[in-house]
Structure 1
Amino acid sequence: IVPFFSPTPIYLFKIPQISYASTAPELSDDRRYDFFSRVVPPDSFQAQAMVDIIRALGWTYVSTIASEGSYGEKGVEAFTQLSKEAGGICIAQSLKIPHNPKLEDYDKAIQQLLETQHSRAVIIFASEEDIRGVLNATKRANQVGHFLWIGSDSWGAKSSPIHQLEDVAVGAVTILPKRSSIEGFDEYFTGLTLENNRRNVWFAEFWEENFDCRLLSASKREDTSRKCTGKERIGSDSKYEQEGKVQFVIDAVYAMAHALHSMHKDSCPDHPGVCPQMESAEGKTLLKYIRNTSFNGSAGTSVVFNKNGDAPGRYDLFQFQMTNSSTLEYKMIGQWVENLQLRLEELQWPDGEQEVPISVCSLPCKTGERKKRVKGMPCCWHCELCDGYQYQYDETSCRLCAYNMRPNPNRTACQPIPIVKLEWHSPWAIIPVFLAMLGIIATIFVMATFIRYNDTPIVRASGRELSYVLLTGIFLCYIITFLMIAKPDVAVCAFRRIFLGLGMCISYAALLTKTNRIYRIFEQGKQTVTAPRFISPTSQIAITSSLICVQLLGVLVWFAVDPPNTIVDYDEQKTINPMLARGVLKCDITDLQIICSLGYSILLMVTCTIYAIKTRDVPEDFNEAKPIGFTMYTTCIVWLAFIPIFFGTAQSAEKVSHFFLSLSLSQAFSLSVSLPPLTNFLFIPSALTTMDKNRHRKAEEVLMLSNQILKSQRSDRDGGAGSSRCHYLRYHALGSTCTIMPYSGKGDERVEEVEEKEEGELEEGREKCTGKNTDASVGWTCGVHVLSTPLRQLLPYIHLQFTPQHPGVMAFVGAFLLTPLPLQLYIQTTTLTISMNLSASVALGMLYMPKVYIIIFHPEMNVQKRKRSFKAVVTAATMSSRLSQKPNERPNGEAKTELCENPAADPM
């Protein structure tokens, strides 16, 4: 029976040993220490208990301190090995206290522990002296309450390691092999005296140490002069506490006794005492009986040995904490018998912390973040957010959601991307619908007016049949707006394909037929007075229908090749922020298919524009040649703007939408301010015949003078005495509101005075004006009207004067460019519908609104005219090369009515 392993001759002779105190893990190696057994558990069980405690408390980053030597170093080694096997525990610092340490060694150890601030838990396998040294150094470093101590059985539930260091040890969790106080031993031991215990040679030394005195004979103490009387009593004259290893000493003795008894029973049956067979027995035989021994020990627990000669691990767990009586003491908080049983609710921590303190290298990542491990440190990581359309698959990886999915807000899973469509209440739908409704109302009004006055000269002069066809096309252009905004389904998608280009095709087919007819009439008229073929209304309808059938045939082919269907487009609105991602429900129509569907109509539009340019010199606005030309020029601008807008929305929705709105409003404004003067200019010829012939100066002279003045700046806005005559009066006639209003009282006289001057004086005035520093914003439209209209008739229109520098429009454009708007989803649909609405509005406004105006407000001009033959009209039209620049003296423009309403002229 030995306290620790002893490599004495008895071991060399293979005599078995039973230890009651040796816990070194290496003694479990049965190949090296095959004759060694122990009734106490090895430190490897204690290390396993520590690993289980740390995992139960959620600590992953700990440090270790060991006393130099077998106990400390081997204990920490066992703990490190078991923590690696268990996983999830990393060693931040592993320190060793040398033999015979100095204060500096303890202080250095604490400073090293503080280098890893997050590692608050410290595993300590050390002697009592080293435990005290570490706690003292902690106090000197002013780190009381920072470290969370886990002490081995050398600390256990002893008071000596923490004497006067209780505040530093608060919260410490310690381990002690399960033991019990042996009844009767205290009575026996406290009754021992020097007289009745002479057999124990060390008892006299214990007596001096326990009572702090000297015995008279052979005393080894020289630090005290107090003499022992021999009448001292253990427990009453000194502090006594039963040694914790008493249980194991008794169990070790009984284990040997039980082994010898079993061996005697087998070797010497029915023979009292030691028989010869037992005397010659070898150590291996006795070891076999020791390893097979099993009995209840002195504390009532079973005493057994495993194959390595180790006793089972049984530990009590304690924590040094404040009790209800406000005193600090060890409290049992659980036990470890092959597995951990810990009462977490009974734990207390330094500084009154309610929750278990943390001792981790890295804090847990938030939801939606993955761990990026630090190389060589599995307990340390950096947190990285699963960005874009990724979600957190597990702790260390992110995965991409499916194409129709997006991560949920906390990025722990994927969820379907919401599906949206253009709603009727959306601003991107309200504007086109509003314009379309206005256009439909206007179209119906015009059509009703034409039907009501179907047989009047103006309606007949417009070409009734083609006018109704054109109005039908305009009406369909407005109707397509509602189909483009309606919720997509198979039927809606089919109607979109049909009507997308049909309205424009009908409109431009009718206009192309008109312009082609005018061109053919006057080109042939230059060579012969014979009427060209196919100019009758029936022929015109047939030609228009043929052009329309090409569009319908293309749509039928489209239906056959690619039947209409709906799709959900997830790519169009897959934004950087997945929370803003949307799937757009739309018809299965690509941008290229839209352009192809409109391509034929655009071809008709371009062809019509070419004919409009060729017929721009036709006199008297023959068959609306000039309004058709202006309509086509404006339409080309709108559609030229549509193409970059439509294909550029994917790159810069905000800028393109701002540009588009500014352009559309500017076009609409230009159109609105141009209609009134054009109405007077084109359809009230009586206003052009009120002056005598000498007052009609050539238009090109006025425009030339206006352009010269436009490029200069005027210093005297009031027209002072220093201004030349031409400068003073011409600005009065051609200027904007700020210059014309002060002289409106005498305007008539001055205008007539200028216009009655001779050609030479006008040229002289032009030269004077060019040399002056003048100021005004002039517009050629008003300039033309001044020559033919008294100033009092011109004034109502001058306040609508529009130039590219109009302050209202410039402020509008600036505000849109400087104020960012949120990204919109449906710019393409809005662009397409508004472009079609604008095109239809231009045609309706230029070709039919002035006529409706005359029909309703000037019925006296809508009178029957005398008929003239086709030959007479063509002869008059070709008499002079400048005929197109001079107004005809006959009122109401007879020629165009005759050509429109003379079916007999068609040689078809």
Structure 2
Amino acid sequence: MALMAVNILLTFTVECYYPQNTYNFLVSVFAVEEINNNSELLPNITLGLHVEESLMYTKKIIESTLNILSGQHTVVNFKCYSSRTVAAIIEGFMDEESYGFYNMFQIYHYPQVSFNSQNLDMSNPVQYPYFYRTVPSELHLCVGIGKLLKYFGWKWVNIFSTDEESSVRAVQILKERIRQNGGCIASHEIFPHNWGFTKSQLDKIIKAIKESSTVNIFYLNKNFAFSLTYVLFLQRLVKSSHVFITIAEVEIAKKIEKYFKMSNKFFIFKPYRKVMPNFLKFIREMKPVWLACDDNAKYWWRDLCDRRCPKNIRRDCNSSDKNFPFTHCLSKYFGSSYSVYNAMYAVAHALHDMIMSGSGNGTTWTRENREILYSVPWKLHHYLRNLQFKNGLGEEMYMDENGDLAIGYDILNFIILPNTTLKYEVVGHYNPNAPPGQDFTIDEKAIIWDSSFTQIPPQFRCSLSCHPGYRKLTREGEPICCYDCIPCAEGEISNQTDMDTCTTCPDDQWSNQKKDACIPKVITFLSFEEPLGIVLTFISMFFFLITAAILGIFIYFRDTPIVRANNRHISYILLISLMFCFLCSLLFIGHPEDITCILRQTTFGITFSIALSSILAKTITVITAFQTTKPGSKLRKWMGSRVSNSIVLSCSLIQTFMCLAWFFSAPPFAYLNMRSEIGTILIECNEGSVIAFYCVLGYLGFLAGISFIIAFLARNLPDSFNEAKYITFSMLIFCSVWISFIPTYLSTKGKYMVAVEIFAILASSTGLLGCIFLPKCYIILLRPERNNKKDLRKT
């Protein structure tokens, strides 16, 4: 049984010595040893490791990589002089370097697995078929930041980013996400990605922050720590009411921390990481022989001996140096070690799956499966894409169809404790692969807000929120986040904060006083319970009883001359019709129904037509009676009750037929008038046919006019026979009331319009009753001595 060797090339660049990279190197060694000691993973195969690191010298990286791939290099964990198969390249370049490296080495078809680059463009498996990574795409980073802003309702944002092509696209996606959530970009400053901050650039940032109270997103230093010097400089110069969101950890330096007061204002998005206890044990117990020639590494190992380091990383050694140049032992996740660890296991499992599928049980090496192993780079891609595996921690992991490890982001809160200790606290997660509703979580109790905030959580807006009852009115020439709050119009509401438009209430509802809810409209009609209805009812019943009493008097004194004069039967009909006129006004009071709407108009029209035709008959009777006293008069045959009754009957029938035509064509009906009065539903009777309504009124006016004209012409007849002047006065009152009724009726609404019609009915009926019958009642009751034929015949 032969022993085979497969190597992995690990390479990364940094701008300066970054102590967290030592963790990245050590975890690769740890992972290789752990894999080689696992009898179930890659049996009879030794996994080797080539490591290259350079301080931004891309030329040196390319040269070293070519040497390794050509076999002219020494492997870390075994020494040989023959070429060994390189399975994959695991790199920790920044986005642009990772992109450039891929373009150069893709011709060799080596899988390139990045534990650092989040370039969103390289998630395309068609354009980048040989690229994989164990960190999420930058696209998810933008979505996660957008969700954090939305969660806290932060809508006023400053963005500071670099001019890298990938970052430019990512920030554009972030800006679109912010706008979709109703937010606005107060300012967006772009800086060269390969420069440090100059004073003028810092002044530019400070000016942008000072101009408004915003959330400040630093889309900078994506691959490395954000210098605490910058943080302190910003906090000293800008006002306190700000929150900072970064995509890089803040580099903790103890000697700076002592002199400046820090604030709890930072949220940091970093790819999901996990502490690996066995790896920390490996660091505590290993002998740093390989790092003996590196001065920086000596300091690195010495710092782990300091008593201030936590026990999980502290080495059992002594250090007399009191300085603390690096605080890598205070790191929460120890660089990108978790991502490097997963990259090692992903390549190892892909190799295992490939070899097992090609060699059966993998225990016997033949010429054929040796060739499979030597053709690793070309065939390994099939097994890396959509790979499912368990890492050394027993976690289920998988690479998606884009070659990205399906993990998300941790949201860290940079916390300064009262004893000046700095630490990171995980306060939330964003995992784009989780089910909807579970992809974004925030533990608000874990967040420690700065004491300078007057509101927890703080709010960042160009304008204050518009409370319910108000809507936003965008200021001309300013972003949509800058607006004024104006109250909703009558009949409209806004029941949420910051509504763009007010919602119109349904027809049967109206806005309340605060205009934040629709309430049922007040239903109004002229009811018997309200004061106006009670007064009109009382008047109607009072005059009904008065009329009934007069009728009783006329019946009781029916044989007296004054009752018998001018046709007492017509007087009875007139009195009865007036009684119905007073009673019909009650139909106008109360809740309108279809039947009451029909009855009120037809009853009113018919009873008044009977009353007016009776008056017309009495007027004609007066004239006829006077003319018959002349010698040779031919009108004597027209005297008697038959003619008078015919006039009453014929005139009343005409009105009755018009009412029937009205009823069968377009009868009155009850309806809800929701628009005449604000916030009120008027229950009214619709006339149905306005023409029919005014025809009925016009006919009554015609009868009244004829009666008035005839009575006016007969006003000077002798008093002994003359009732015409009383009829004249009654018709004058009647016509005056109804002429004034029409404009008043048309200018009023709701129950007051009904009250006007009732008043017209009562006033005109009272005028008829008073002018025609009160003089006679006066003689009957108070001057009975004048109630004889002798006085009636006196001229």
Q: TM-score, normalised to structure 1's length? A: 0.61
Shift of 1:354: 6.5
State the alpha-carbon separation in 1 of the partners of residues 573 and 650 from structure 2.
Answer: 12
In the alignment, structure 1 residue 542 sits paired with structure 2 residue 656? no
Higher-RCO chain (CA-CA 8 Å, sequence separation at least 6): 1
In the alignment, structure 1 residue 344 sits paired with structure 2 residue 444? yes
Q: Contact (CA 8 Å) 2:269, 2:412: kept in 1 or not?
A: yes
In the alignment, structure 1 residue 444 sits paired with structure 2 residue 444? no
Shift of 1:20: 4.5
State the alpha-carbon separation in 2 of the partners of residues 162 and 81 from structure 1.
Answer: 37
Counterpart amino acid of residue 204 in structure 1: D
State the alpha-carbon separation in 2 of the partners of residues 306 and 841 from structure 1.
Answer: 95
In the alignment, structure 1 residue 93 sits paired with structure 2 residue 194? no
Report matched runs for 1:395-794 at 5 Å.
405-407=508-510, 409=512, 420-461=524-565, 463-485=567-589, 487-489=591-593, 492-493=596-597, 495-520=599-624, 528=631, 530=633, 532-534=635-637, 536-551=639-654, 553-554=656-657, 557-558=660-661, 561-562=664-665, 567-571=669-673, 574-575=675-676, 577=678, 579-584=679-684, 586=685, 590-620=689-719, 622-650=721-749
Q: Contact (CA 8 Å) 1:472, 1:506: kept in 2 or not?
A: no
State the alpha-carbon separation in 2 of the partners of residues 486 and 168 from structure 1.
Answer: 72
**Partner residue in 1 for 2:756:** 831
In the alignment, structure 1 residue 316 sits paired with structure 2 residue 407? no
State the alpha-carbon separation in 2 of the partners of residues 425 and 556 from structure 1.
Answer: 31
Distance 1:519 1:269, change over 3 A: same
**Partner residue in 1 for 2:793:** 894
**Partner residue in 1 for 2:76:** none
Distance 1:864 1:83, change over 3 A: closer
State the alpha-carbon separation in 2 of the partners of residues 269 and 512 from structure 1.
Answer: 130
**Partner residue in 2 for 1:333:** 427
Q: Matched residue of 1:568: which SS? A: strand
Shift of 1:2: 0.5
Gaps of 5+ in 2: 1-9, 14-57, 67-103, 304-316, 434-438
State the alpha-carbon separation in 2 of the partners of residues 77 and 632 from structure 1.
Answer: 87
Larger Rg: 1
The 10-residue stretch of structure 1 (494-503 or 278-287) with the greater mean CA deviation from structure 2: 278-287
State the alpha-carbon separation in 2 of the partners of residues 441 and 81 from structure 1.
Answer: 82
Q: Matched residue of 2:11: which SS? A: coil
In the alignment, structure 1 residue 2 sits paired with structure 2 residue 96? no
Percent of aligned pairs with the same residue? Answer: 22
Q: Matched residue of 2:615: which SS? A: helix
State the alpha-carbon separation in 2 of the partners of residues 347 and 496 from structure 1.
Answer: 74
Deviation readout 1:240-286 (Å, 9 max, x if unpaired): 63442345556656666777788888699756999985897474356
Shift of 1:425: 2.6
Distance 1:648 1:17, change over 3 A: closer
In the alignment, structure 1 residue 241 sits paired with structure 2 residue 336? no
Q: Contact (CA 8 Å) 2:669, 2:687: kept in 1 or not?
A: yes
The 10-residue stretch of structure 1 (283-292 or 500-509) with the greater mean CA deviation from structure 2: 283-292
Distance 1:401 1:632, change over 3 A: same
Distance 1:439 1:34, change over 3 A: closer
Q: Contact (CA 8 Å) 2:123, 2:402: kept in 1 or not?
A: yes
Deviation readout 1:24-73 (Å, 9 max, x if unpaired): 44554556665555444454444444344334434455332224557865
In the alignment, structure 1 residue 111 sits paired with structure 2 residue 207? yes
Deviation readout 1:369-394 (Å, 9 max, x if unpaired): 77789999787888787756667899
The 10-residue stretch of structure 1 (593-602 or 292-301) with the greater mean CA deviation from structure 2: 292-301
Shift of 1:454: 2.8
**Partner residue in 1 for 2:78:** none
Distance 1:369 1:859, change over 3 A: same
Q: Contact (CA 8 Å) 1:157, 1:174: kept in 2 or not?
A: no
Counterpart amino acid of residue 718 in structure 2: P
Distance 1:301 1:79, change over 3 A: farther
Q: Contact (CA 8 Å) 2:471, 2:501: kept in 1 or not?
A: yes
Shift of 1:178: 0.1
Report matched runs for 1:40-439 at 5 Å.
40-67=135-162, 69=164, 76=171, 79-80=174-175, 91-98=185-192, 99-117=195-213, 119-120=214-215, 122-126=217-221, 132=228, 134-144=230-240, 146-155=241-250, 167-170=262-265, 172-175=267-270, 177-181=272-276, 182-188=279-285, 192=288, 196-197=289-290, 201=293, 203-207=294-298, 233=319, 241-242=328-329, 243-248=334-339, 270=364, 277=371, 281=375, 283-285=377-379, 296-297=390-391, 301=395, 305=399, 309-321=403-415, 329-337=423-431, 338=433, 339-351=439-451, 355-359=456-460, 387=489, 405-407=508-510, 409=512, 420-439=524-543
Counterpart amino acid of residue 250 in structure 2: W
Counterpart amino acid of residue 508 in structure 2: M
Deviation readout 1:826-864 (Å, 9 max, x if unpaired): 233322232232223223222322232233333333345
Equivalent of residue 855 in structure 1, options 780, 790, 795: 780
Shift of 1:645: 1.9
State the alpha-carbon separation in 2 of the partners of residues 862 and 340 from structure 1.
Answer: 105
Q: Contact (CA 8 Å) 1:317, 1:334: kept in 2 or not?
A: yes
More strand by percentage: 2
Counterpart amino acid of residue 570 in structure 1: L
Shift of 1:606: 0.9
Distance 1:341 1:18, change over 3 A: same
Deviation readout 1:601-634 (Å, 9 max, x if unpaired): 3222111211122123223363223222222223
Q: Contact (CA 8 Å) 2:615, 2:707: kept in 1 or not?
A: yes
State the alpha-carbon separation in 1 of the partners of residues 384 and 700 from structure 2.
Answer: 108
Q: Contact (CA 8 Å) 1:443, 1:475: kept in 2 or not?
A: yes
Q: How many residues align?
A: 663
Q: Matched residue of 2:740: which SS? A: helix
Gaps of 5+ in 1: 213-230, 651-824, 866-891, 897-908
In angstroms, what is the RMSD of aligned CA positions?
4.8
Shift of 1:495: 4.2
Shift of 1:292: 8.8
Deviation readout 1:810-833 (Å, 9 max, x if unpaired): xxxxxxxxxxxxxxx223332223
Deviation readout 1:472-520 (Å, 9 max, x if unpaired): 2322222222233255456545543553133333333233233334434
Q: Matched residue of 2:270: which SS? A: strand
Deviation readout 1:553-598 (Å, 9 max, x if unpaired): 425643763486x633233x52363x223333x3755554333223
